[in-house]
């Protein structure tokens, strides 16, 4: 199973937001670029970045930082948070070099955007983020209910050509309570989608539980807090980050 480290960016820093509540923010590091380099040093094969400012405000705010991370690494990087229009997608893919964009709220409010991305770039360049709270999809940075179940939303996306989703129960995000196994099984058995599990991972035991259902198409997992707080025994052997801020001339992004 592919493990994907998560870098959540808010106010230009690496953070964790517990259960999506804006008033429960914990700052981990001043430099997202340093964190990205550390993950690469630890031999991770891909990376997920969320622009939390964009997710909440509806417009991506951290293009220069994201561009700096992509320029610094040699692995594919997927990015989400505030991707609400095709021009943003074009800039991300064509100018920043983002491997894959993650669409959440916009897929609910504007399914035609998803269709346009698939038409222009193929289904391999887009993944749909399904964020659940109490069997209801939430949007706009987990603030508003969309009045659709995760399964119905997944089926709708599959019907328009999506091949992969990222699923997470937002009540588990950042609190290390484990993934929502039952929902993952439901999504995997009632669709033909490939699924990335996100949210709630505590330690290697959670990874073992996910590996038991990997054959259903749940082939990857995104991890944030558990990595930052060294929940895996092997991290003590090779983690040496002090996370000192370094000067970095961020590349300019055309049109931003």
Instruction: State both tokens at 72.
Output: 């610094």
Identify whether the C-beta of residue 96 lies closer than 8 Å to the C-beta of residue 253: yes
Handedness of CA 117, 119, 121, 126 (dihedral sign): positive
pLDDT of residue 249: 47
Spell out the domain ranges in the chain.
2-238
pLDDT digits (tens, 9 = 90+) for 93-111: 999 999 999 999 899 999 9
Q: Strands 47-51 and 77-80: what pairing?
A: parallel
Report the alpha-carbon distance of residue 54 to residue 244 in Å, rounded.
25
Identify whether the C-beta of residue 183 lies closer than 8 Å to the C-beta of residue 200: no
Identify whether the C-beta of residue 222 lies closer than 8 Å to the C-beta of residue 210: no
pLDDT of residue 103: 95
Helix (H) or strand (E) holding 209: helix 204-211
More confident residue, 118 or 51: 118
pLDDT, average across residues 166-181: 88
First to last CA, the chain: 36
Identify whether the C-beta of residue 96 lies closer than 8 Å to the C-beta of residue 66: yes
Assessment of whether the complete model's pTM goes beyond 0.85: yes
pLDDT, average across residues 172-196: 93
pLDDT of residue 141: 64
pLDDT digits (tens, 9 = 90+) for 200-252: 999 889 999 999 999 999 999 999 989 988 888 665 545 544 444 444 444 45
pLDDT, average across residues 80-98: 92
Catalytic residue among 53, 131, 169, 206: 131
8 is catalytic: yes
pLDDT of residue 255: 47
Catalytic residue among 8, 51, 53, 206: 8
pLDDT of residue 234: 64
CA 147 from centroid of its chain's CA atoms: 22
Q: Which of 73-82, 172-181, 234-243 has the lowest mean pLDDT?
A: 234-243
Phi-psi region of 215 (alpha: psi -120 to 50; beta: other; left: phi over 0): alpha
Report the alpha-carbon distance of residue 202 to residue 120 in Å, rounded.
38
pLDDT of residue 245: 42
pLDDT of residue 241: 40
pLDDT of residue 48: 97
Q: By three-state DSSP, how is residue 199 classified?
A: coil
pLDDT, average across residues 112-139: 95
Report the alpha-carbon distance of residue 172 to residue 155 in Å, rounded.
23
Comparing C-alpha atoms, which of 185, 224, 173 is closest to residue 44? Answer: 224
169 is catalytic: no
Identify whether the C-beta of residue 163 lies closer than 8 Å to the C-beta of residue 124: yes
Tell me the percentage of the chain whose pLDDT exceeds 90.
Answer: 60
Asked if pLDDT for residue 25 goes beyond 50, the answer is yes
Report the alpha-carbon distance of residue 22 to residue 93 in Å, rounded.
29
> Could you tell me the CA-to-CA distances from 116 to 14, 73, 92, 195 in Å, in that order?
31, 28, 15, 22
Q: Which of 9-13, 65-69, 246-250, 251-255 has the lowest mean pLDDT?
A: 246-250
Q: Strands 100-103 and 77-80: what pairing?
A: parallel
Q: By three-state DSSP, how is residue 246 classified?
A: coil
Backbone angles phi, psi at 135, to 5 degrees: 60, 30
CATH topology for 2-238? TIM Barrel (3.20.20)
Mean of pLDDT over the chain? 86
pLDDT of residue 167: 97
């Amino acid at each position: 199973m592919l493990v994907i480290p998560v870098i959540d960016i808010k106010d230009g820093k690496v953070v964790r937001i517990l259960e999506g509540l804006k008033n429960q923010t914990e700052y981990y590091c001043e430099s997202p670029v340093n964190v990205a380099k550390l993950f690469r040093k630890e031999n991770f094969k891909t990376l997920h970045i969320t622009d939390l400012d964009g997710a909440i405000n509806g417009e991506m705010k951290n293009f220069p930082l994201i561009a700096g991370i992509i320029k610094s690494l040699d692995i594919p990087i997927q990015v989400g948070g505030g991707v609400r229009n095709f021009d943003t997608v074009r800039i991300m893919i064509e100018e920043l070099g983002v491997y894959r964009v993650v669409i959440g709220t916009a897929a609910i409010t504007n399914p035609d955007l998803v269709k346009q991305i698939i038409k222009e770039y193929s289904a391999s360049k887009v993944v749909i983020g399904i964020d659940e709270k109490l069997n209801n999809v939430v949007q706009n940075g987990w603030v508003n209910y969309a009045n659709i179940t995760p399964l119905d939303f997944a089926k709708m996306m599959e019907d328009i050509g999506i091949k992969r989703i990222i699923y997470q129960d937002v009540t588990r995000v950042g609190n290390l309570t484990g993934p929502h196994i039952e929902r993952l099984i439901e999504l995997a058995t009632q669709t033909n989608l490939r699924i990335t599990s996100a949210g709630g991972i505590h330690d290697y035991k959670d990874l073992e539980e996910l590996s038991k259902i990997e054959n259903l198409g749940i082939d990857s997992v995104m991890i944030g807090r558990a990595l930052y707080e060294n929940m895996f025994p092997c991290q003590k052997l090779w983690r040496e980050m002090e996370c000192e801020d370094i000067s970095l001339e961020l590349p300019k992004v055309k049109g931003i």
